[in-house]
Every structure is written in structure tokens, then in C-alpha cells.
Structure 1
Amino acid sequence: MGEPRRVLLAGDHFVRNDILADRLNRAVSADLDLRSITLPWPLEPFGRVSEVDEASDVEDTMLEQLTDAEIVITQMAPLTERVLAAAPALRLVVCTRGGPVNVNVEAATARGVAVCNTPGRNAVAAAEHAITLMLATVRAIPPVHNSVAAGEWRSDLYAYDACGAELGGATVGLIGLGAIGRRVARILRAFDATVIVSDPFVDPATLPPDVRLTDLDTLLGSSDVVSLHARLTPDTANMIDRARLATMRPGSYLVNTARGGLVDYTAVADALRDGHLAGVGLDVFPVEPLPQDWPLLGSDRVVLTPHLAGATRQTAHRAAELAAEVVAAYLAGSELPGLVNSDVAWRT
């Protein structure tokens, strides 16, 4: 028998090393030398580390741990050019998230290191969270809860002008129809909502049943609720700006569980203040954590969660399962699921 294949598990307090090890042991029959370090996220926030984003500040630790590892599995370790240069045996990086922003993919490719991600790991969680935010926003659940918890019993909230809205019978516009958007659409159809979608990359032949494809401007002008599920790119940055907010239906609602950079939140605050928007539900923000003077704090028509849409135990297990499938394929010399740098010259 050959030497065991050395694998570094750089898990954290969400995608834990024990979960990763369990899934690997189930999926892989080869002899593995598993080593592990636990990164501080989410007990300590992530940030930019050298040239990569959304990573734990443990570059020096990774320099020490990766000297002879062939495979690393992580969602928060900074795989910078400096770290990759110090890992001559490394051939596979499995990033247990939807996008490997914590990995210098260009530097990895130049060194023959395959980089894979785990797309769809949080699709169920994020879709359910988007629906939760919609319901909490259109029914103004947080301020009503706070009122009852404070000992009040406001029967005046039954007044017509104070009532919330329903998703049943509403038109809900989804901007983006990836794995999360498709699941949101399916749930909304169970509510008897009319679902329309704007996504330039969707083949109309692949639309879910009873979902209609349209352009962005038509969607904004036709929807009672607009929910964002698009990727943040140079083309989509600030796509919901002051001009586009003005085209939304008066009294409509905006929900964002995708990326904060998709929306001009200063313009959203103004649209709420003048009554053009009835409510907003947000899980993502341009700066995290939020500054104390952020314009949407304190409004009873805004529902806020701290970037938790993907935070379920099932997401962690699904990420580990997908990562284990990548490692199994790599050791078998097969096509790698979730391969980001398809032009890499990797070898098992």
C-alpha cells in the first residue's frame, strides 16, 4: 500500500471538522491522513486577508499547516498566493461555500492546484429564509411582536390602513433564478402567488411551472414584492438604484438575501420615508457589521437579520457531503464537481 493521502481539514464553528471527517470517511475508501485545525469564524468575524476576501485572519497558521498537505477542505482559510507558495504538495482545494472568494484562484491555477466549491449547499436554507423575510415584512411581524412583548395589546392594528398584506394572490418578482431562486419560486407557487422572473442567463425552456420570464424593468413595475437572488458582479452592482426604485409599484416590498452591493440602501431609506416602499426585508448589507448611523436602522418597516440566510445545521452537513464527493472524485481521477478553474493541469 502507498502512503496515506494527507488532508488538512480547516473547519470552523459552523462547518465543523468532525462533520467533515465523518463525511469523508463515508465517501472515501482510500487511506487518508486527516489533520485538522479549527478556525475562529463565526465567533470572530471574517474580513479581507492579503488579496482574498471573506477569510479568517490565519494566514501564518496556514503557512505552518499546509507544508505537506495534498488536499485542504475549508470555507474560511485564506488561500493566498503566499500560502499557496508554501504548499508544494497541495493539489486540491475544496472550498465549502458557493464561491471561493477566500482563494486566490489565479495563483492556484498557476501552481496546478484544482479549486472546487460546493454550489447549492445553502439553497434550501437561503430560500426558506427569503420566504421568512417576505412574510415577516409584509405582515410587520417584528414590531408587532415587540409591542406584545412590551405588554401592549393594540387592537388598532386591525384597522384597514394598519393591516399587512398577503403573499397569496400577490405578484412576486424574483431577480435571479439560480438554485435558490428556483426553490423560492416553488414555495411561492404553493402560496398561490404569481411568480415572475428576471434573469438574462435563464433558458425559457427550463422555467419552473407557472413562472413567467420578463425583463427587469417590467418586473419592478409589476411586482407587489421584489426578492433579489442575483450574483454580485460589475454588471449587477447597485442594480436597484434610485431610478429603478422609482419604477417599483407604490406600496410594494423589497427583500434582499443575495448581496448587499446589489442595492442602493440610501435610496431605499428615502423610498421608505416618502411611502413609496411599504417595507423592506434584508439579510445582506454593503458593510457588515452595520455602522450605528446606517440609514435603515430603527425603522419599524424594516426587518433585518445579520447575514444568516444560509445558517442551518443542514447547510453545514450538505457542505461537508459535497466536499467529500469532490475528494472522492479527485482520488478516483474523475471529473471534479464544482471545479472553478477548469483550465488547471491537476494530477492525482
Structure 2
Amino acid sequence: MPHILAAGDLFVTPSLFIDAVKARTSAAADVSFGELTLPWPIEPFGPVGSVDEASGDVPSLIEAMAGAEIVVTQMAPFTAEVFESAPGLRLISICRGGPVNVDLEAATRAGVIVTYAPGRNAVAAAEFAVGLMLTAMRRIVIADSELKNGAWRGDYYSYENAGSELDGATVGLIGYGAIGRIVARVLNAFGSNVLTYDPYADAETVKDDGVELVELSELLRRSSVVSLHARLTPETHHLLNAENLSLLPRGTVLVNSARGGLLDYAPLPALLASGQLGALALDVYDIEPPPADWPLFDAPNVVLSPHLAGATKQTAERAANIVADDIALYLRGERPRYVANPAVWNVLSAGSRS
């Protein structure tokens, strides 16, 4: 009887995983379940051992995994030590866009299949990004705070202080994956002119979506709103820096709801103070949470939220369902859809046929 550990957290809970697996496989009656609840998001994720963006600790995970053939999780830290301590482990299903909290080389050496859940938060993140654009462009949060503190800012209706519209605006999207494409669709409905920079995007797909594919420098020069939607890799770290931020037209609105490392935060206070940046909206940071003396707390025209772009009930449910589908395929002896280390599946499936 396969044993599955549902190592959930306070967002994608163990019960969501268990219910999703039970709903998707006739073999569920012959599967036993264990549960582990990790402290995220009450405690921020971070590095754990050799992996990033993880929650919990290695000893607790190893203890909870006793006898498990399958583990389904969002944040559990799968380090080399974990794989060395779990010889019966065969499948890890990570309900995130990528298995960043897994030492993939160690998993492959151990013969453990690793799956993930692309697109699980695409709708939520895209809607949130557009919400940040509107909030920054129209001072919604700032005006709310001022009014609650007794200030009726009628001067925001003066021409020089008035906000701007998405209709007719040129909006540059850096990254054109699942999230970027949804943002573009929403912006097209608003009447925006949408540009994108993504060296991996298919030019015909972008054109068919009514979006113009351009180089990064051209996007920055032409856009009145810029929103980040790229994955964080060594190549995209500080993709926006002091040098290319200087290309932005005066008064540009900059939005980052993707990853803090995409953006160099050091030049932002001066760009805001000078008016080069008209407004800044952030959901992600170079340090999470930012320290108390972080200079952007006191900078003008800044909207901040605590890494909430993916925080919808639908995201949690979708994440559990995507990985449950792959677990059901595995239990039937079929190849899961989203395998991060396909060489392991190829070896296992060849062995089962021989």
C-alpha cells in the first residue's frame, strides 16, 4: 500500500492535498496518508540547507516521511540529506511553478521523480499585477491612508497631480509566460498598447495576442508603465538596474510582483525623489520582509504589499489539483505530466517494462 505524506502549510493545507488525491484516483482507497503542517506563510520562507524558498526544517521532514513513497508539498525542504534518509521515496510533487525547494541533482541521483505545477497561480498573479498598476496610477492606497488620517486631498484633482489611465497607455511587460500573457489579455481589454520583452517568447504567439515583441531597451524607452513577470535566474538577476532604469520616460510607473531579485532596489529612492519614477508598486523585495530602516518605506508614491500576488483560494485549490493529477498518473503506472527530471522517469519506466 503506497504511503503519501501531505506536507502542507497554512495556504495549501494537508487536507487540500489529501482530498484532491482521493478525488482523482480509484487507487486512493488503497493509499495511506500522513500529514505535516509547515509554518509558512506565518513564518517567511527562505533558504533551508542547500535549497531556497523553503519552510520548516530537515529533521522534522525526515521524521514525518517515515515509510512514504510519495510526498506532496509546496515548501518542504528537500535537501540531499532528506534523500539520503528516505530510500523508499519515489515521487515528490511540488505544487509550485518550479521545484525551487528541491535539490534536483540529489533527487535524480536518488532515483526520485520530481513534479511541479506550472500555471497554478497565473490568474491570481496577473489580476494582482493589474491591480497594482491601477492602485499606483490612481493613488488609491495612498489617498485611502491620507483620508483615514484626516486629509482630504482635493489637490489630486489638479491637472499636475491627476492620475493616468490604462486606456491608451503603453505598458511594457518584462516576461511573457503564463502570467504575462494573462496580464496582456487584460490590458488589451483596457485599451492599452502592450509591449513585451522575453527572449524565449514565440514571436508569432506574441503577435497573435496583439502584443509587440521588442528588446528590453526599447520597452523601457517607450513604456509609461512597466511590469515584471520574468522568472528569477542567474541571467535575470537585477535585470532592471540603475543603468537601464535611466531609460524610462519621466513619470513611469514601475510594478514588481514577480521576484525581488529581478530588480535592483538601490537606485529606486532617488528615482522616485527626482520624479523619474512617477510611482512604484511592489509585492516582492530583495529582502523579505524588508528591514525596518528600508529607505522605500519613506519614499514618495510607493505602494507595498507583503508578497500576496498568488494568495487566492483558487490558487491553493488549483495547486493541489495539478499535483494530485500527476500523483494519480503515477499510481496508475503512467508518466506524470510535469516532470522536472524526466531521466528518472525514463529509467523507472524502462525497468518496469523489462
> Is 1:158 the equivalent of 2:160?
no
Within-5 A mapping of 1:48-127: 48-127=47-126
Alpha-carbon offset, residue 115 of structure 1: 0.5
SS, match of residue 342 in structure 2 = coil
CA contact (8 A) 1:51 1:80 kept: yes
Structure 2 counterpart of 1:346: 348
Matches of 1:38 and 1:250, distance apart in 2 = 47
SS of the equivalent of 2:33 reads strand
Quick check: 2:255–2:280 contact (8 Å CA) kept in 1?
A: yes
Contact 1:91–1:346 (8 Å) recurs in 2:
no
- How far off is 1:140 after superposition? 1.1
1:286 maps to what in 2? 286
In the aligned structure 2, how far is the partner of 1:212 from the partner of 1:85? 49
SS at match of 1:22: helix
Match of 2:25 among 15, 22, 28: 28
Stretch of structure 1 that moved more, 270-279 or 56-65: 56-65
Matched, 1:297 2:297: yes
Residue 18 of structure 1 and its aligned partner are, at CA, apart by 1.2
> Which residue of structure 2 aligns with residue 11 of structure 1?
8
What is the correspondence of 1:237-256 to structure 2 with a 5 Å cutoff?
Answer: 237-256=237-256
Deviation of 1:206 after TM superposition, in Å, equals: 1.3
TM-score with structure 1 setting the length: 0.96
User: Cα offset for 1:67?
Assistant: 2.7
Counterparts of 2:321 and 2:283, CA distance in 1? 26
Deviations 1:141-180 (A, max 9, x none): 1110012212332222211111111111100000100000
Letter in 2 for 1:125: A
* Pairs aligned (count): 345
Counterpart CA distance in 2 for 1:154 and 1:288 is 32
**Corresponding position: 1:170 with 2:172:** no
Instruction: Provide runs of 4+ in structure 1 moved above 4 Å.
Output: none
More helix by share: 2
Contact 1:326–1:337, Cα closer than 8 Å, also in 2: yes
Which amino acid in 1 is paired with 2:215?
A: D
Q: How does 1:133-148 map to 2 (within 5 A)?
A: 133-148=132-147
Matched residues in 1 for 2:195 and 2:180: separation? Answer: 11
Partners of 2:13 and 2:99 lie apart in 1 by 18
Query: Which residue of structure 2 lines up, in the alignment, with residue 131 of structure 1?
Result: 130
What is the one-letter code of the residue matched to 1:16?
A: T
Q: Is the 8 A contact 1:269 1:295 kept in 2?
A: yes
- SS at 1:42's partner residue? coil
Offset, 1:106: 0.5
Tell me, yes or no, if the aligned pair for 2:45 and 2:53 is still in contact at 8 Å: yes
Query: What percentage of aligned pairs have identical amino acids?
Result: 49
Give 1:343 shift: 1.6
CA–CA separation in structure 1 for the residues paired with 2:142 and 2:235: 36
Q: Is the 8 A contact 1:229 1:257 kept in 2?
A: yes
Q: Is the 8 A contact 2:77 2:101 kept in 1?
A: yes
Aligned-partner Cα distance in 1 for 2:250–2:302? 16
For residue 225 of structure 2, what is the aligned residue in structure 1?
Answer: 225
Residue 276 of structure 2 corresponds to 276
| Gapped regions of structure 2 (runs ≥ 5) | none
- TM superposition shift of 1:243: 1.0
Question: CA separation in 1, counterparts of 2:153 and 2:241?
Answer: 36
- How far apart are 1:101 and its partner, in Å? 1.5
CA distance in 2, matches of 1:13, 1:333: 31
